[in-house]
Amino acid sequence: MTLKGFKNKHIIVILLLVNVSLVYLLLYFDVISVSKCAEYLERPHTRHKLRVRPAQLSFNMKNLSKNDYSKLIDIKNFSFIILNEHACDSADVFLLILVPSAPGHAEHRLNIRGTWGFPKKGIKLVFFLGMVIDQQLQEEIEMESKLYGDIIQGNFIDSYHNLTYKTVMSLKYVVYHCPKVLYILKIDDDSFVNTPLLLNFLKNDLSPNGAANLFLCNDMTGSPVIRDNQSKWYVPEDVYPDNSYPSYCSGWYAIFSPDVCFKLYQQSQNLSIYLFVEDAFVYGIAGGKANLKHIDISKYTLASKNPNLLFDGKYDKIRFLFGSPNMNIKLVKRFWEYFRGKPVPLTLGDSVV
């Protein structure tokens, strides 16, 4: 080898080392920014700190049983009726939005696609449904799936008492078909997401490279188990004997990283009981088994506020990521139009684009 050739190779090696060092520095500063963000996300209900690590882009599937794919909690013969398994094939899915939806809520789904769930680079929107008896409705769902490619349907009857199956099915879909997404939002089809601000929050307050150990939601610590058999949420003692649920997240929305999704799914699949109170079951009982801790971000929602005051400018100084549960279609549209006309804050702080 000539002296010149040796020098050239030496220079190439040095450049490669410099590039690797720069990558590690970028990752380091991403983690630092997330740690600072945790200081104002943390709420009094928990001492848990948001320690975010670089994203884990694969799951340890060896921790699941051999028949896991065909099992859904206590359903031994589970299968997807409609799968759309390639929805996450794009390499740049930054945020995956999981929306459990009633089969008859086609108008809700259409409204979401046209407002806060409007197609945008880096975002993938997927709806989750159960099985229906009405053949005409099933045909309409299949047509909707062919048109939009965002419907996932399982082979259990769609009902309120089967909502837990629907939620765990959505986690199953992530584990098996979307393992490389960076962030996950699970939200009901009757709520609102301030999508532009949420994206800025994830990218700027957290990290553009994804995260681990991330679990944000509305906290439900100390919720009692309802024993009134006339209540919608009645649970008998022989099903769940404790008088209160473990600390859990309200079911209408939650943000989590893929590793948290995997742990919630794995523990849900291993539980020996079934509770139709899906948020207590998945986020509380299964989450507790996985030793997961969540951070309350209810101050960034309109859950405890009058949503109509938003349009009077009463909340202009508050950064809202989410609306409230049980919003009608008209109100969701009005929210979207309102936020579309506003500058998008770069973070949950005061600066705006």
Residue 157 lies in a domain: yes
pLDDT at residue 19 is higher than 90 = no
Burial 163-177 (b: 16+ CB within 10 A, else e): bbbbbbbbbbbbbbb
Residue 304 lies in a domain: no
Share of the chain above pLDDT 70, in %: 82
Residue 223 lies in a domain: yes
Residue 22 lies in a domain: no
> Comparing 71 with 345, which gets the higher pLDDT?
71
Residue 92 lies in a domain: yes
- What domain range includes position 120? 61-297
CATH number of the CATH domain containing 222? 3.90.550
Question: Residue 277 is encoded by which pair of tokens?
Answer: 């109170």
CB of 219 within 8 A of CB of 245?
Answer: no
Residue 16 lies in a domain: no
Number of domains in the chain: 1
- How does residue 54 score in pLDDT terms, banded at 50, 70 and 90? low
pLDDT at residue 73 is higher than 60 = yes
- How does residue 35 score in pLDDT terms, banded at 50, 70 and 90? very low
pLDDT digits (tens, 9 = 90+) for 268-316: 999 999 999 999 999 999 999 999 999 999 999 988 788 777 888 777 7
Residue 307 lies in a domain: no
DSSP 14: H
